[in-house]
Each structure stands twice: as C-alpha cells, then as structure tokens.
Chain A
C-alpha cells in the first residue's frame, strides 16, 4: 500500500474528539424538523392563498411585529409583497 508520511505528523490544531461519525444520519429522532407538516401554520404573516393549497399570501406581519396592521397596503385588493 502507499505511505502517507504527512499523516504521521501531529496536527498543530487541537480539534477535540469527534462527537459523531461521518456516516451518521443528519437527523436525530426527537429533534424538531423544519420540513415537518404543521410548521407553515406557525409562520407569522403567511395565510392560505385564494387558490387554497396552490399558494399563500403574506401580510405585513411577515416582516415586522411592530404595528404590522398599520403597514398593510392602502387598497385591500393590492398584494402585500414584504421583503422577506
């Protein structure tokens, strides 16, 4: 087999003991999953769209928690397009 002399040299960075193995799955049972069903309902300022499952509308609450109701569009027919 091939020799890798650099591997026998001590590293000058103290990395500590690995806490997981490289082959461990990313998810640990019991930890909340961002993709889990029901999470979208908890999103502030995100409501089902006019065509139900196909889309979602946003309100000013999506961008701010301070007087959000005062920051809706002046005409209710207008879309609310918050920056995030």
Chain B
C-alpha cells in the first residue's frame, strides 16, 4: 500500500484535458486518521472538477465483537476512537439499555449528560481553535491569500468591544499556532473541559464509570460544584469565542464574494439526537419516537432545508449500508438477524442489524473501482424513494438545524424557535448574561459548518448549567441513586442513537445465547467520508469538494489547496495519523509500505 502525499501530476491521463491537474492529499493532517482526498483541478477555470475520498485502514469492530459478552460492548467500542470514545461508550450503553429492558436512574442520566456536554465543549473547542483556525490564521492566509490579509488589516472587527481584537487581521494573528493568544487560551480551556469530563465519566476519553443501567460516579455536592466552577470559567471564554467566529466568517463572505460556494452542497443533514431527557426516556423501542423527541438536541433529517422527520423509529428503519466502491463483498446471501423491529415494521437487509461485514482487501482503484475501506451509509427517504447521502455538517450544523426547525427544545438556557436556536449564557466573572442566537443559514457550506461549531460550544455549555442545577436539586432532595441493576437476556436486540462530537452515531446490537451475535457501530465519518455508492452517488466530502471554486491566490506550482482543506476539515473528519508532506511537479519524495490484511507484497 502506497501513501502518496500531495502529488501533482500534470494532466497525463488518457484523453484528459491538459488543464486538469491531479492533486492528492493523503493523509489529511490535523485530523484523526487515514483520510486521503484525490482531486482533479482545472486551474484555467479555477475549480475542482472531481474528488474522491479514500480511507486506507480496516478496523473490523463489527467482525470481532461477535461472540463477546454484551456488557463489554461499551468498553470495547470506546476504543474505536481516541477523541470521541466516550460517545461510542454512551451510544453502546443506550443500545444495551434497550436490549436489557432497563433505564438509567435520573441522577445517573444527568451525569451522562454532564459528561457528554463537557466532551462537546472540549472537542469542539480544541478542534476549532487549535486545528481549524490554523487554516484561517495570519500565517496561513499570508501564504495563500496575501491580498485578503491586506484587506483584513484594514477591516475593523464588528465585535471588537467583546473580544478585544481591533481588526480581522488581529483575530487571525491570535489564531497563529503556538504563539497566538486564542490558540494558547484554547489549550488552557481544553484542560478545564477535560477535567469536567473526568469528574463525570472517570477518565478521558475512554470512560471508566459509565455502565449500562447507570454510572459508578458518586454523586456529591462537591462533584457538581467542582464541575460548575470550571464550567463558569469556560463560559467566559465561550462568550467571546462566538462573536469572534462571526467576525471572521462574515469577513470571508464580504471580502471574497462567492466564497459561500466553497464546500457548498445540497442540504442533506442528519442528526440522531443527544442529551436524554431523564423524565421521559425509558429506552424502550416501542416509545423511542416519544423519548427521541424529548432529547435536548432533537434528532431529525433535513432535506433541502425542510425537516423531513424527527422520529427515531423512522430514522432507524431508513438506514441503509450500501457498497459500491468499498473493499467489501456483499452480504446478500448472509443471515438475516432482524426481519421485523419490535413494532412489527420490516427491517431491510441492508440495515445495520442485518449487516455481515465481509472484507475484501485489494489495490486502490480510483478509475472506476473500489478505493476505500469506508462503506456508503445512506438514508432511505420513504416519501421520495431516494437513498440520501446525508452528512452531519461536522456535527453542530445538523444538530442546530434539526433542533431549530423541530421547535421542541424549551429549557431556561436553550430554546428552539422554529427558525433559530437561542442560547442564554449566565452571568460569569467577567461579564453579565449574554444572549446568542444561531439562525438557520442559507447554505450548508464550509463557513457555516465552522460557524455552527462555535455556537454549539455555547449550546452545550448553556445546557450544562441547566443539568447541574437539575442534578443539584435532585441531590439536595436526598436522591443518590445512579445505577439500575439488570440481568442479561438470552435473546434481545437493541439500538442506540447519539451524537458523536462530529455527528450522527448509532450502535446496533443483536444478542443470542447471552452473547453478541451481531454488532454494528455507525459513526459520523462513514457517512461524511463515504465513497461513491453503487448508484454512483458521491459521498458528502466528494460532493462538497467537487465543483468547489478556488480562491487561493497561489498558482499551480505553489498551490496549497487551502479552500479544499478548509472544506474537508469543516466536516471535522475523524478516521483513525500521519505526517504531511509535499511534493511538487510530480516528484514523489517518499513511498511507504504498510502491512495490510490480505495484501500481497507484489501488490505494494
């Protein structure tokens, strides 16, 4: 297996236009994983003509989970990811709760919510401020768009009175890695939020105190006040972070007319819901529609700007795992594990409950053949019969969009309005109460994915204040129950729906003879990074990058692909890292050979 870093091969393909240049970024850096982006760029027209997204690593969790004790599932699947492992653990626990027929006591559920809120604050903040903002920092913009930087130097920041940076260029300087003020402050904040997380879930990022049926965290007044004091410091930071993000992204729209087309794609957003309402949730499949709609982030699917559903049962039954350009054999002739759901609805063979993973390692073929280990999850829209390549908008965009349109969330600190989400951040040490409003944008593009992330940091922080208040009230009432006992059934099925930091997350579980017979976790990145399916539909990264107009001022020889990188990173890619290398004019500097399951030496 060869990893080619950025490689430029001037139009050399058969019958190719000589203006087309093939460029590849593999691996993409500043993300977790082994993602490669292969493009064909027309420099005369200044746009990307074709894009393919690949992943070169096979994980196999669905293969080796079989036969294991289901109570181990959250500990094992947490290891899927080194950044959002707790989201997997939580989702697995939700699925197990359903299978065991139990629910977490209310105080335990609040501890889950507080831990997950800390994770959203931690992960979004460190990704946005320490990784995404590198693409928007003064050093990067100087390299890619010096003309834009000159404009930024002369442009006053509209919210300078809040964040303290007079010009847009001053904000960009604060993003400079290792030296910028925001960059350094975000690192300090990530320590605080990690501490908050560990208070609730024991250890970051693989929780040690979360179990099906509850938590091992001991609820004491000190636990919640330790969390709250850190949360208030973080809210101080979030209050200036949101207007600072608005200033930068609004500047890009103004200074670069047409930038809204960068990373723009048809609005196809999925959100599987987050933060259970302890008063409603009972984890029964039969009542999943009701407790799904009671979540503090509403699950839903948005198609072309319209909210199609908020029903978790419909969302569940609509999931289809397609192949096409993935390194797998089809499972058409394999066993059907679940023919009907507990409500009697038929379950499709291509649903995760019925999936059998059959890996087929082979050479990458970007010319019409398989090129990725990622499958192609799609969502079946029963109204139109379409198999939709939903994306998550990096997580926050879909979460805020579905929550806003659903108009169901109504808490003292966060409210949906039908077209926006209002967020109230309470008085803190350095400022009074602050009201923020995220409005449904016109586009699902790069800048809006990034902007939504800043707002969702505030959303999670505001909700966390409410969760602490609820938990303290319950504790002061004398309730200390955080765990529900249970027996493992011989036969059962379960499904868990949650939001990993970067988007939709589902775990589907089948238990037979007290052991796992089938288990399929579907995290956000398989949705976002999926390759073309058998219908030829491109995955969301591919779709967002194809047709992307190029605003970078560099010519072909010193091209960095900043607009493409901003777009891919706006989805918050997370495939489990590599070094970034650049080779110019078709020169491959280094060739790597990595052992791969089933690969033959002569294929390298």
Contacts and interface: CB of A to CB of B under 8 A. Distances in A.
Tell me the dominant secondary structure on chain B's binding face: loop
Interface stretch (B21-29, B266-274, B470-478, B546-554): B470-478
B485 A56 contact: no
Contacts of B474: 55
B70 to A, nearest CB: 9
A68 B69 CA distance: 39
Interface in A31-84: 33, 35-40, 46, 49-50, 54-58, 62, 79-84
A79 B476 contact: yes
Interface string B66-98: 011101100000000000000000000000000
A56 B480 contact: yes
A71 to B, nearest CB: 16
Given A2-B595, A55-B107, A35 B67 contact: no
Given A1-B601, A79-B475, A37 B480 contact: no
What's the interface size class on A, roughly? 20 to 34
A15 B67 CA distance: 26
Given A49-B479, A55-B481, A79-B475, A25 B515 contact: yes
Given A23-B68, A49-B481, A35 B601 contact: no
Interface residues of B, number: 32
A27 interface: yes
B601 A56 contact: no
A20 to B, nearest CB: 12
A55 B105 contact: yes
Contacts of B566: none
Contacts of A40: 483, 485
A64 B600 CA distance: 64
B147 interface: no
Interface string A1-38: 11000000000000000000001011100000101111
Interface in B15-71: 64, 67-69, 71
Nearest to B68: A25
Nearest to A54: B106
B69 A27 contact: yes
Interface of B: 64, 67-69, 71-72, 105-107, 211-213, 218, 220-221, 474-481, 483, 485-488, 515, 595, 600-601
